[in-house]
Structure 1
Amino acid sequence: MEITQDPSSLLGAARSDRGFLASASDISNYKRIWARDGVICGLAALMDGNKSLIDTFKSTLETLASHQHELGHIPSNVHFKEDGKSEVSFGGLAGRVDTISWFIIGVCNYASHTGDRDFFKKMLPKIHKGFQLLKAWEFNNNYLIYVPRSGNWADEYITEGHIFYDQVLRLWAMRCVQRLDPTDSRQEEIETITSILEGNYKAGNYENPFHPKAYKSLENKPYWMASINPSGYQTMFDAFGNSIALLLGLGSVRFRESVINYSENLRATLPLNLLPAFWEPIKEGDKDWGLLTDNCKYEFRNHAYEFHNGGTWQMVNGFYGMALAEDFPDTSDNVLKEIRKLNSVEDYGYYENFNSETSAAIGIKYCTWSAAGEILVREYRNGKKLLI
């Protein structure tokens, strides 16, 4: 299939019988069914409305569900060999935590959009098993999941501990299930987690902080903190976590506006006019440089302004653009315009990410979730909505 300026053409080119591939490029590591990539592409498929793409999303979810670990893990990816046998990975240097939440979000959105409640009921035992494992990963029953370094999409970055992105992602998953299968106990847990997130991840006067010593000295910043761990806060700006929080309406109106103001001021200072994954970049000589350079299985990619270390991802900006679509339509349109610019580089190469300083394309071509990010903003501006 020809890949064109219509991002759905790339999703079509990356279809397989077992689900979405991470890229249409002929690169073996990306010719797998990835949980995170597959669900994000599937959410875009639901918004796009193409039946063949929606069917591929269902196949993606079925592949992930059929390879769920007996303890509840959802695979990072599943690779099918030529003989039809599968190889399952639950992560590289650390297991992946966010795949469970993405899977649940995907199942609920698919069932809600298509009206296929039988599919949802079929998946409920797997959803419950995933939630049970996430609860176990709190370790101390504090309502906050503990995530190892490399345990989520930022798999070669330095965040670890009670990472905000993973908390809001689980909250989204819980809210989705509650919409389809409401229970009083889950609603109570949703309200408790919401209160804990709103109280602990920004400076203020929260009466019962998780880490009292660190909270007491926490600097007031206009966005949600990236993580809390036993050593204190990681205070860098996490665009993905903050974008999902905006999408969920977390925090007061005033604080959400402060997140958007910070984000818009940051966008205006960068040549690509889009948000970097994390900010500011960690540079050689910084205290965290060693943590960053040693955190890679094969080759170091997180040079300053690239990949997770300040690189710009169209996919991440897609979630930011979605979050702005209803209340800040002009800003959302501008985000969409800039995503389209990046996706069009090299005759619609849909690169994975870009260097935020030089604007150079980074990573692989024909990256499916780069196309998905564009579709999600476009369709949100057309009035469509995900299950939130």
Structure 2
Amino acid sequence: MINSQHSSEINVAKKAALEVLLHNMNGPFHGLPRTAGWGYPEPYTRDLLISILGIAVSGNEQLLDSIRKVLETLAKHQSERGHISSLVHDSDDRGASDTTPLFLLGVGIYRQVKNESNFLNDAVQKALVWMEYQSPSDLYLVAQQPTSDWRDEQWVLGYGLFVNTLTYSYLKILNQSERAENLYHEMKQFTITGGIMHYHVHEGLVLKHKPYYAFWSYKVYSSERFDLLGNCLAILSGIASPRRADEMVSWIEAECEAMKNNELLAINLPPNFFPFINPNDPDWYERYAEYNNPGEYHNGGIWPFVCGFYIAALVAAKRFELAEQKLMILTECLKKTNTSEQSAAMNADVSVNYMNDKNINYGFNEWIKAQNGEPKGQNWQTWSAAMYLYAVKCVEEKTTPFFDEMRKE
């Protein structure tokens, strides 16, 4: 149960989040949901599939019908070899590393909600085969190309944490227990240090002397920067033991406090990625100067949908009081709107007539600049609203729907 002092404010925000999702439910592309209220009319696959978590716990049948349409359309446009496209309606928009694992996880969640154990079975089987071929070592860790997951402005090389935690999660929810166990054991290997890779020694994602998992790893190379989303999924799915999960949460909170003291963080929510990559760092790319500056976007921006995963991970780690504190801070942040993006969208999208008739009290924006707490990107973002609903459900019931069973096993 949420503290009575907080419950009324959270209920108002829940209603606002539901309104966002219902507004975004029917977009201009084949009636598929839109990614944001005005700025992103396209049905981006990863955004909509992540939103399944919030939609699934909302109990709203209209939204569940819309997400069924998303899954069925993706299956219709699946490649011959099983890959899932980056835009729901466009079979030619290929190359993402996270869309296929997200599709498999999304189908698993939908099957549980609707009790349809064979829903899209043919498409699932093709997608499972596709994912097996994503391991260059012909084992279990999944590799990817740079900028191919949700971080489309940031390089992740080889075995990325996010995609592999997604892979583990869908294997668990689809009862692929043996492959899940084998992936788990590969992830639990240490990353390679010292610049030498010995015969029969395989890289993993565990870092020595640190409670979190590597951002990515491939042969003798790896990144020890912290990926909040990937590590939250490691906690939720049970890859991280209860002890590691607790230590990781304490480490995150301590690091965030240090960033606040150094004026790198303005609010009490963790950036999606830190330490930030700076222009003189070896992993800096020139393009970052335009799209991915320190504390912004993928390079340390605060993403409300990722914070939803963090709140859920806090519940999984049994840090219930901290989870409620973070939920209240997120609720306050989601009230803000990015007025510059709002104005631009109003001139570009006819659906904004709806906005003119509404009192927009919640922005549910895309991301927040770490150093000043100001909202950036698009407002009324589908996954921001959906993951808020999921985070509230986790805090209210002290459970993490769809992940609890993974951790029990």
TM-score range (shorter-chain normalised) is: 0.7 to 0.9
Q: CA, structure 1 residues 385+318, in 2 after alignment: closer, same or farther (shift >3 Å)?
A: same
Equivalent residues of 2:189, 2:203 under 8 A apart: no
Which residue in 2 is equivalent to 1:241?
A: 230
Specify the SS of the correspondent of 1:200.
coil
1:89, 1:382 → 2: CA distance? Answer: 42
Which residue in 2 is equivalent to 1:106?
A: 106
Which residue in 2 is equivalent to 1:33?
A: 43
Equivalent residues of 2:154, 2:298 under 8 A apart: yes
**Deviation at residue 211 of structure 1 after TM alignment:** 3.6
1:150, 1:378 → 2: CA distance? Answer: 31
- Quick one: higher RCO (CA 8 Å, sep 6+), 1 or 2? 2
Which residue in 1 is equivalent to 2:322?
A: 331
| Deviation digits for residues 44-92 of structure 1 (CA, Å, limit 9, x no counterpart) | 111111111111111111111111111111111135xxxxxxx34535x
Equivalent residues of 1:202, 1:225 under 8 A apart: no
Aligned pair 1:278/2:273, yes or no? yes
For residue 7 of structure 1, the aligned residue among 6, 17, 23 is 17
- Structure 2 residue identity aligned to 1:35: T
Q: CA, structure 1 residues 208+56, in 2 after alignment: closer, same or farther (shift >3 Å)?
A: same
1:202, 1:277 → 2: CA distance? Answer: 25
Q: CA, structure 1 residues 313+249, in 2 after alignment: closer, same or farther (shift >3 Å)?
A: same
- Structure 2 residue identity aligned to 1:24: G
**Alignment map for 1:40-59 (pairs within 5 Å):** 40-59=50-69
Specify the SS of the correspondent of 2:222.
strand
Which residue in 1 is equivalent to 2:375?
A: 361
Worse overlay, 3-12 or 274-283: 3-12
1:4, 1:47 → 2: CA distance? Answer: 12
Equivalent residues of 1:148, 1:160 under 8 A apart: yes
Equivalent residues of 1:4, 1:348 under 8 A apart: no
**Alignment map for 1:1-388 (pairs within 5 Å):** 6-16=16-26, 18-25=31-38, 27=39, 30-79=40-89, 87-91=90-94, 95-117=95-117, 121-178=118-175, 186-200=176-190, 209-211=201-203, 219-268=208-257, 269=260, 270-290=265-285, 293-294=286-287, 300-326=290-316, 327-346=318-337, 347-383=361-397, 385-388=400-403
Specify the SS of the correspondent of 2:330.
helix
| Deviation digits for residues 87-140 of structure 1 (CA, Å, limit 9, x no counterpart) | 34535xxx21111111111111111112233xxx24122112111111111022
TM-score, normalised with respect to structure 1:
0.85
2:92, 2:395 → 1: CA distance? Answer: 36
- Structure 1 residue identity aligned to 2:272: A
Specify the SS of the correspondent of 1:192.
helix
Q: Where does structure 2 lack aligned partners over 5 or more consecutive residues?
A: 1-12, 194-198, 338-360, 404-409
TM-score, normalised with respect to structure 2:
0.80
1:22, 1:306 → 2: CA distance? Answer: 20
Q: CA, structure 1 residues 288+33, in 2 after alignment: closer, same or farther (shift >3 Å)?
A: same
| Deviation digits for residues 265-315 of structure 1 (CA, Å, limit 9, x no counterpart) | 23333322111111011111222222xx337xxx93111100100100010
Q: CA, structure 1 residues 130+300, in 2 after alignment: closer, same or farther (shift >3 Å)?
A: farther
- Structure 2 residue identity aligned to 1:60: V
- Structure 2 residue identity aligned to 1:378: V
Q: CA, structure 1 residues 202+238, in 2 after alignment: closer, same or farther (shift >3 Å)?
A: farther
TM-align CA RMSD = 2.4
**Deviation at residue 4 of structure 1 after TM alignment:** 8.6
Equivalent residues of 1:74, 1:90 under 8 A apart: no
Equivalent residues of 2:227, 2:272 under 8 A apart: yes
- Number of equivalences: 352
**Deviation at residue 364 of structure 1 after TM alignment:** 1.1
Q: Where does structure 1 lack aligned partners over 5 or more consecutive residues?
A: 80-86, 179-185
**Deviation at residue 36 of structure 1 after TM alignment:** 1.2
